[in-house]
Structure 1
Amino acid sequence: MRRVAIVAPVDALRESLVRIAEAGCVEVDLVGDGGPDVRGPAATRLQRLRAESAHPALSEAAPDLDALEREGRTELLAGEAQLEERLGSAVRHGAVAALAGWCPETMVGATAARIAGAGGALVPLRAPRGVDPPTLLTGADTASPAYAARPVRRSLTPLVSTYGTVPYADLDPSMPAGIVYVVMFGLMFGDAGHGLLLVAIALLLRAGRPRRAAALRPLWPFVAGAGLAATLAGAAYGEFFGPTGVLPVLWLEPLEEPMRLLAAAVGLGAVLLAVAYAAGIVNRWREGGPVAALYATSGIAGATLYLGLAVVAGYVWLGQAAYAVVGAAIAAVGLVLAGVGLYTTTSGGPGGAVQTGIQLFDAVVRIGSNVVSFARLAAFGLTHAALGAIVWDGTTALAGRGPVGVAAALLVFLTGNALAFALEALVAGVQALRLEFYELFSRLFEGEGRPFRPWHLPVQHLTGPTADATPPAAMEAVGPGPAREEEA
């Protein structure tokens, strides 16, 4: 993200801003609270109409505001009101006006070329000290066509943005977080038949069907990924609409080997936590340097404590005393580092020491509970398999009782699978989200950033009485006046 200034002659600023709005890749700074009143003619007319347009737009040329009011063109009045707000936020020096803002580094050149035709310029600036730039994730969905993200990245970004805005200095976790989510979902929703149904639903969303779900269309790659993961897990379990025998068991049968499935789930969780700690170290380093990374419980200190406890767990598993000694020593180093970092955040003294001790105890317990929490991957996978087995047993029991039994068996099979699909899809989706947010994201992020909000409005080309052939007077109507004149 690059700090920029929009600089133009006063009489060319409107056209430059119209082109900025059409490009939709610059976030323009506005006058903050306590600034001068920038309500202009368009905003006043819009207020008189007592209407707000849900889809503001701008006209390429300065319009006749009276004609817009008579015609009830609230969308253009709303767009002009936004334009007036930005014109009023400009600083002027003689015949030149300027506004500051943010623009993605990759879009600076194209945006500068766009406004150069209007007589304006986009000037790169140094970022202000102590101010973090706004965050634009790689797959973020914005109104501007300039950010037409790849469909896969675009479908995974809401998983992160729902949790919060990633700080600008941190890693973009959208793609790995999406992959981890669909893997965990697949383990809990492991049935090849149900997974293929999800893939079919994803294809329907891609085609814009049903129309009521058109807003969900960008999520189709995410749904397809979850369906594919469930299909692969179902193939590993030998599940196809339950234990129908259609597929061979490639790995294990959940109901026959629950402990093996449980161990695999906890092992996967341990690996994911280690990766989360690694990402947390990078984030703490980028946020506050090596000191912040060293002492943070989500940084090197926390990772060292986690490693020590993992080695101690190796002693419990293998029974070799050397693991206990080495693990305890590593965990002690992690506790000391974390304790130093936590103590510096307290008021000091005995009270600070007690607070630090409680926080360290919580950190140890939290690590253990977080690892064990991944056992739900196996638990809900077993639940799905059990529901499938119940439906299949009922189906086979009825199928051998003549034509009526066959019809009843078909009804049980279809109804049972529909209920199992709906219930387990909801449960697996919620549980995967819970593991992602509480166990993993809590180690990646310690703060929250500010989302990048580019100013984007569609531009209309007006003809007839609505268009105004006279030079725009908006700058004089909403200009900052002598009190806002500064060196641009």
Structure 2
Amino acid sequence: MPWSEVMTPVRMRRVAIVAPHAALRETLVLIADAGCVEIDRIDGPGHGARGATLRLRRLRTEPAEAVLSAAAPDLTSLERAGRAELLAGEAQLEERADSAVVRGATAALAGWCPADEAPRLAERLAYVGGVLVPLKVPRGVDPPTLMRASGAPGRSFSQLVTTYGTVPYRDIAPSWPAGIVYLVMFGVMFGDAGHGLLLLLAALLLYLRLPRRLASLHGMWPLVAGAGLASVLAGIAYGEFFGPTGVLPVLWLDPLDQPKRLLASAVAFGGLLLALAYAAGTVNRWREGGPSTALYAASGIAGSGLFLGLALAAAGVYLHGGAITMAGAAIAACGLGLAGTGMFVASGGGFAGTVQTGVQLFDTVVRIGSNLVSFARLAAFGLTHAAIGQIVWHGTTALAHGGPGALVAAVLLFVVGNAVAFALGALVAGVQALRLEFYELFSRVFEAQGRPFRPWHVPVQRTEVTP
């Protein structure tokens, strides 16, 4: 699959489903079985509860899952037999049938369907005399969003984005980059090769659906495995294996010996991620509102220029380069001017608009600095994890030299201490990586909310159900 498709939602097609009114039920059964069409619902006079819906209410039973009968069943017999699942399926079918526009002997429904699924659905509908007709997208209406999720890792990574919100249909959907960034940040804060191996073991158990009571978490195994691998790699770089046990040499830096270097690296990494977030935000603003929106948006070209200018100015001050500082200040001023123009126009102008623009510009500049510094928590929690590991290891070695009884205590301290460090570190790293991704990165990439694609799907029972 091309990378451009991986980074965008599934392409949707506006469709009309036209069928003989006498074959409307058979058509809806095929649509429900295919599960790839979101049918527009029409609520109005005459569309109240009736038929299967009333019978289902009289049963006062909530079915675990709605089921449709391939052949039209006798609703009275279903009520007498207590078949709540079949009545629930018929009730859903009645609701969709009520949304059909009927003209003579023809009925029509409108909705959305993934473009790749449309040909197969049209072929199935032809068996009952139905036709799938492509329509133009109504002006001012965005199609619903369906995230691409190829493979188990893709599904896990897309959940990181959908947890934040529904991606607008026109925006890029950076599921894979978001997933990779999340795992890297997790590994930096949870850098211990031994603890990472435990996460890999946990991922294997989830993949095997063991223990059975955690089988519902099976879909998380790629994310847990990725976090474990990132932690192992970071632990090898730090020389940490269940703490500073000396099993692994330090390949990059020891967090407790070189905290400043770790802190600077975390902030620099955060600056790179913010630059990428501004680039993605610029693309999204362009897709949402065209070049003018992208130019003046604080998360578009204006914000990108402000961020780049401030970064160059800071680098010039650090390197004592006057030319770099001046160039950065000029770029930042241009970005600030563009952002201010956009904010002033959006505020409606006048004195109140001027005050509002000033406050928003101040907030934008402060947010850039605070968001950049916020990535220092990668180093802070990495240091905390390493410090806990060092305390546990020093206590273990001190007890190990105290005799046979003390040796048992040393082993107990090592096991319990690492269990506490593992649980606390994994919880903190998981939450903080998610927080950085949501508030520092996604807040620039996304400004609007889309509408999720909700296809109608009901399993179809092919066996005879009428007594």
Question: For the superposition of Structure 1 and Structure 2, which TM-score range results when normalised by the shorter chain?
Answer: over 0.9
Is the CA contact 1:152–1:221 (under 8 Å) kept in the aligned structure 2? yes
Instruction: Tell me the CA shift for residue 75 of structure 1.
Output: 0.6
**Residue 104 of structure 2 corresponds to which residue in structure 1?**
94
**Residue 454 of structure 1 corresponds to which residue in structure 2?**
455
**Residue 41 of structure 1 corresponds to which residue in structure 2?**
51
Distance 1:254 1:30, change over 3 A: same
Instruction: Tell me the CA shift for residue 299 of structure 1.
Output: 0.2
1:138 maps onto 2:138 in alignment: no
Instruction: Tell me the CA shift for residue 85 of structure 1.
Output: 0.3
1:104 to 96, 109, 114: 114
Structure 2 gap segments, 5+ residues each: 1-11
1:79 maps onto 2:89 in alignment: yes
| 1: CA distance, partners of 2:29 / 2:17 | 12
Instruction: Tell me the CA shift for residue 233 of structure 1.
Output: 0.3
Greater than 3 Å deviation, 4+ residue runs: none
Is the CA contact 1:39–1:84 (under 8 Å) kept in the aligned structure 2? no
Amino acid at match of 1:461: R
Amino acid at match of 1:15: E
Instruction: Tell me the CA shift for residue 39 of structure 1.
Output: 2.2
**Residue 272 of structure 1 corresponds to which residue in structure 2?**
273
**Residue 50 of structure 1 corresponds to which residue in structure 2?**
60
Cα-to-partner distance string for 1:153-190 (whole Å, 9 max, x where unaligned): 11112111111100000001111111100100000000
Instruction: Tell me the CA shift for residue 347 of structure 1.
Output: 2.7
Give 3-state SS (helix, strand or coil) of 2:455's partner. coil
**Residue 484 of structure 1 corresponds to which residue in structure 2?**
none
Is the CA contact 2:37–2:113 (under 8 Å) kept in the aligned structure 1? yes
**Residue 469 of structure 1 corresponds to which residue in structure 2?**
none
Aligned ranges 1:397-416 → 2 under 5 Å? 397-416=398-417
Cα-to-partner distance string for 1:11-42 (whole Å, 9 max, x where unaligned): 1111111111111111011113x443242310
Is the CA contact 2:73–2:465 (under 8 Å) kept in the aligned structure 1? no
Relative to the length of structure 2, the TM-score reads: 0.96
1:24 maps onto 2:17 in alignment: no
Higher RCO structure (Cα 8 Å, ≥6 apart)? 1
Give 3-state SS (helix, strand or coil) of 2:164's partner. coil
Cα-to-partner distance string for 1:365-388 (whole Å, 9 max, x where unaligned): 110111110000000000000000
**Residue 21 of structure 2 corresponds to which residue in structure 1?**
10
**Residue 65 of structure 1 corresponds to which residue in structure 2?**
75
Is the CA contact 2:310–2:329 (under 8 Å) kept in the aligned structure 1? yes
Is the CA contact 1:6–1:99 (under 8 Å) kept in the aligned structure 2? yes
Is the CA contact 1:134–1:450 (under 8 Å) kept in the aligned structure 2? yes
Is the CA contact 2:47–2:95 (under 8 Å) kept in the aligned structure 1? no
Is the CA contact 1:38–1:88 (under 8 Å) kept in the aligned structure 2? no
Relative to the length of structure 1, the TM-score reads: 0.92
| 1: CA distance, partners of 2:221 / 2:47 | 45
Is the CA contact 1:273–1:440 (under 8 Å) kept in the aligned structure 2? yes
Cα-to-partner distance string for 1:412-458 (whole Å, 9 max, x where unaligned): 00000000000010001110011000000000011100000000111
Give 3-state SS (helix, strand or coil) of 1:36's partner. coil
Instruction: Tell me the CA shift for residue 117 of structure 1.
Output: 1.4
Aligned ranges 1:403-442 → 2 under 5 Å? 403-442=404-443
| 2: CA distance, partners of 1:122 / 1:214 | 39
Aligned ranges 1:229-378 → 2 under 5 Å? 229-378=230-379
Aligned ranges 1:455-470 → 2 under 5 Å? 455-463=456-464, 465-466=466-467
| 1: CA distance, partners of 2:465 / 2:265 | 71
| 1: CA distance, partners of 2:217 / 2:448 | 29
Is the CA contact 2:186–2:227 (under 8 Å) kept in the aligned structure 1? yes
**Residue 8 of structure 2 corresponds to which residue in structure 1?**
none
Give 3-state SS (helix, strand or coil) of 1:243's partner. coil
Is the CA contact 2:242–2:389 (under 8 Å) kept in the aligned structure 1? yes
Is the CA contact 2:396–2:411 (under 8 Å) kept in the aligned structure 1? yes
Is the CA contact 1:38–1:84 (under 8 Å) kept in the aligned structure 2? no
| 2: CA distance, partners of 1:408 / 1:118 | 76
Cα-to-partner distance string for 1:337-372 (whole Å, 9 max, x where unaligned): 000100011131111111101100110111011111
Identity of aligned residues (%): 67
**Residue 216 of structure 2 corresponds to which residue in structure 1?**
215
